[in-house]
Structure 1
Amino acid sequence: MAKLTVQQSLLLTISSILVSVTYSINPFVLEEQLIWESSDEGEVSTYRIPIIIQVPNGDLLAFSEARKYSAADAGAKFIAMRRSSNGGQSWGENTFILNDYKIPDGLNLGTVLVDSVTNSTILIHTFCVHSVCNGTGEKPSGVFMVTSSNFGYTWSDPVNLAEKNPELMDLHFDPGPGYGIQKKHPPHKGRLVTCGHGPDAEVRSMSCLHSDDGGITWQLSLGLAGLPFGETKKTGDFVPGEVQIVELKNGTILANVRNTYSFHCNCRIQALSFDGGSTFPMTSMRMKQELIDPNVCGSLLNFNDNQILFFSNPFNAGSRVNLTLHWSLDAGNTYPNLMNIYEKGSAYSCLTYIDENHIGLVYEKDNISSISYVRIQLNL
């Protein structure tokens, strides 16, 4: 028998340790609260695209698109935010941190990232990404960011990512929606990464923006290209869409992706990056058939940098109903465990870490009539 190298012996040791660790999770919903409700009255018609993240002072920040005149993706919006300083048990007042006034195709979320080096919070959003408002004399279309150095109490003016990288000028790229990450492990430790997709049907692909200087400059890398490339897509084609990424403990980035045109199955796409989000080799791609999905945005959470991953989506092959929490005990290889959150109409969702025994979830409820927050106890 050939002698094992030091590296091979180390890998076997680590693998045996991971296999020997067993987790027992028996989650239940502690409480649920409506934090936004759509209405025909007032200055907001519909709240959509919920995002939640924990900032370094422990507060939870929830964000949404406050669509002014209709539920349509293209249209004038605010970006709304609410804060909880007690793990989601209560929420502060609704505030609008961005306003596009009456632009026919204005703001869209977006991802939120936290830079643990500077304790800054970065919100990535788009402007005129659907090309409706070109030629109106407004600021150029593209991807923008606002930053906060005080945990979301105040925000900077929007900055076009193309200001430091002209290659991103007029970039048509939909980040997330969800959250971005800062890598904790090599390769590219400290890198900020946020992934999304292009809205153009012919060349739609999943791609990522990354920054190695704390969000000052950003570069775009190709993740997974839609196939057949350059052609109008139809049902059954490979069209990766909205995406949530997490980092695993070995430095690999794992992407859970919307399977927009139901390639192979009505389920999720999963892919890996071994170079900090620069590439996602097709050989790493898997169809997660146990994660049945009706073609919608889902959320993925690495719980406290260990083997436990949580995933949320409407667990139904054809309809946006039955919001479900799934969890994996083997870093996303399998998802044998699940718990129903809400059986009726439910769509986009986003997960967050709260503490060593709790996670939070925001989701679109009852045919996008409201956005609800759920606090979940894990019983680890």
Structure 2
Amino acid sequence: MAFVGLLQYSALAVLILQILRPSLASVAPVVVEKQLLWQGGSTAEVAAFRIPIITNTPDGGLLIVAESRKFSGSDAGAKFLTLRRSIDGGSSWSPVELLVEDFQTVDGLNVAHRCFNKQPFSERGSLGLRTRYGIQLTKGKQKGRLVACGHLISDYGSREGLYCLKSDDHGNTWEVGASIPGIPDYSAKKVGDFALSEPQIVELQNGSLLCFTRNTYAYHCNCKVVSRSDDQGDTFLQKSIRFDDILVDPGCAGSALMHKGVLYHLNPNSAKSRDNLTLRWSEDEGQTWKGSLAIDPGSSGYSCLSAIDDNHIGLAYETRGYRDITFVRVRLHP
């Protein structure tokens, strides 16, 4: 009888765990909705829409900001920022709204500089932050700290490595935090050199930060580079830097999201071209990847992830040769 009682107790414990932590018990992502939100050459007569950023809001809404490149899809050129919003989990979206305009400025990258003060790096170049979003820490001694990471762009025009900024006064002032400089340092780069760029950070359960970065010049592999900070964005542990051969990448900004104890990663799953956008998930904070879901086998560039609710995440990504931006809603559990 005691043995039977123990079995019943064990079964009940497992059931309770599955109820309390469904994210770890039954992760089985599936695409449930896909919508084209921006179309280059059609929406507002803009040539191309790029660099989507999606995030949720405290009231349960979703916002997507896109870089609208007026006359061509090139990085340098006139552009403005546009916004669409949803109040029903991504089922419907507001008309396109204009946020900021740079008119016909030749160096359109100044739009990003208007949104963030680049002064900490003015002596060596500028910090490119436009491709990813920052986070606010929820754990540890530095709870409430803002951390935003990007890559230093030198006067040579090359990417000089990973640099993070941190703020402990709600964004009023910023200091340089964790960094991984390029090799060789501050010089023109070529294929095979080491220089990380376009990072996305997530906060782990113990308060450490995990950073996924583009391996810009394909040092060692065509894959993502992962690093960790155990002091909440002050430094990166040198011994933590590793090349994740599972996260094959052609050299493209991806995205990462920690949601209900599960880590999700999104990027083009190809070593040579920006296509085959793939969602992966990990139940051990990125040490291993348990499964994958093909989002789009065709053209797919920069992408961004956001939580929607307990059972759904959303993503926005570039498609049709960097001209359009598509939204996808993914259900996580059956």
Question: Could you state the TM-score of these two structures normalised by the residue count of structure 1?
Answer: 0.78
Counterparts of residues 75-90 of structure 1 (less than 5 Å): 75-90=77-92
Q: Residue 267 of structure 1: CA displacement?
A: 0.5
Please tell me the residue identity of whatever aligns with 2:138. K
1:165-206 per-position Cα deviation (integer Å, ceiling 9, x unaligned): xx4557500015121100001131100011000122567010
1:45 corresponding residue in structure 2:
47
CA contact (8 A) 2:73 2:323 kept: no
- Greater share of helix: 2
**Distance 1:204-1:28 versus aligned 2 partners, 3 A rule:** same
**Which 4+ residue blocks in structure 1 deviate beyond 6 angstroms?**
none
CA contact (8 A) 1:65 1:108 kept: no
Counterparts of residues 15-164 of structure 1 (less than 5 Å): 22-39=24-41, 42-107=44-109, 125-127=112-114, 144-145=115-116, 160=117, 162=119
CA contact (8 A) 1:78 1:107 kept: no
**Distance 1:70-1:198 versus aligned 2 partners, 3 A rule:** same
**Distance 1:226-1:182 versus aligned 2 partners, 3 A rule:** same
3-state SS, counterpart of residue 239 of structure 2: helix
Aligned residue pairs, count: 310
1:280-327 per-position Cα deviation (integer Å, ceiling 9, x unaligned): 1221111101100000000000013x2x10001110111111000011
**Distance 1:211-1:92 versus aligned 2 partners, 3 A rule:** same
1:266 corresponding residue in structure 2:
222
CA contact (8 A) 2:83 2:96 kept: yes
Please tell me the residue identity of whatever aligns with 1:365. T
2:6 corresponding residue in structure 1:
none
1:348 corresponding residue in structure 2:
302
**Distance 1:69-1:176 versus aligned 2 partners, 3 A rule:** closer
Which of 280, 283, 296 matches 2:252?
A: 296
Which of 241, 255, 261 matches 1:285?
A: 241
Q: Residue 231 of structure 1: CA displacement?
A: 3.2
1:310-367 per-position Cα deviation (integer Å, ceiling 9, x unaligned): 0011101111110000111101111131010110111100000011100001000121
Q: Distance in 2 between matches of 1:34 and 1:290?
A: 29
Please tell me the residue identity of whatever aligns with 1:126. H
Which of 144, 166, 177 matches 1:210?
A: 166
3-state SS, counterpart of residue 126 of structure 1: helix
Q: Residue 26 of structure 1: CA displacement?
A: 1.1
Q: Distance in 1 between matches of 2:244 and 2:43?
A: 42
1:15-36 per-position Cα deviation (integer Å, ceiling 9, x unaligned): xx9xxx8532111111100000
Q: Residue 277 of structure 1: CA displacement?
A: 1.2
Please tell me the residue identity of whatever aligns with 2:95. E
1:185 corresponding residue in structure 2:
139
Higher-RCO chain (CA-CA 8 Å, sequence separation at least 6): 2
Q: Does 1:227 align with 2:183?
A: yes
Please tell me the residue identity of whatever aligns with 2:166. H
Q: Distance in 1 between matches of 2:285 and 2:247?
A: 15
Please tell me the residue identity of whatever aligns with 1:69. F
CA contact (8 A) 1:161 1:217 kept: no
Q: Distance in 2 between matches of 1:292 and 1:269?
A: 10
Gaps of 5+ in 1: 1-16, 110-124, 128-143, 146-159
Q: Residue 274 of structure 1: CA displacement?
A: 1.3
Counterparts of residues 245-260 of structure 1 (less than 5 Å): 245-260=201-216
**Distance 1:203-1:257 versus aligned 2 partners, 3 A rule:** closer
1:359 corresponding residue in structure 2:
313
Question: Could you state the TM-score of these two structures normalised by the residue count of structure 2?
Answer: 0.88
3-state SS, counterpart of residue 189 of structure 1: coil
3-state SS, counterpart of residue 316 of structure 1: coil
Gaps of 5+ in 2: 1-16
3-state SS, counterpart of residue 283 of structure 1: helix
Q: Distance in 2 between matches of 1:42 and 1:35?
A: 12
Please tell me the residue identity of whatever aligns with 2:213. V
3-state SS, counterpart of residue 290 of structure 1: strand
Q: Percent identity?
A: 43
- RMSD, aligned α-carbons: 1.9
1:335 corresponding residue in structure 2:
289
1:133-178 per-position Cα deviation (integer Å, ceiling 9, x unaligned): xxxxxxxxxxx34xxxxxxxxxxxxxx464xxxx455750001512
**Distance 1:104-1:35 versus aligned 2 partners, 3 A rule:** same
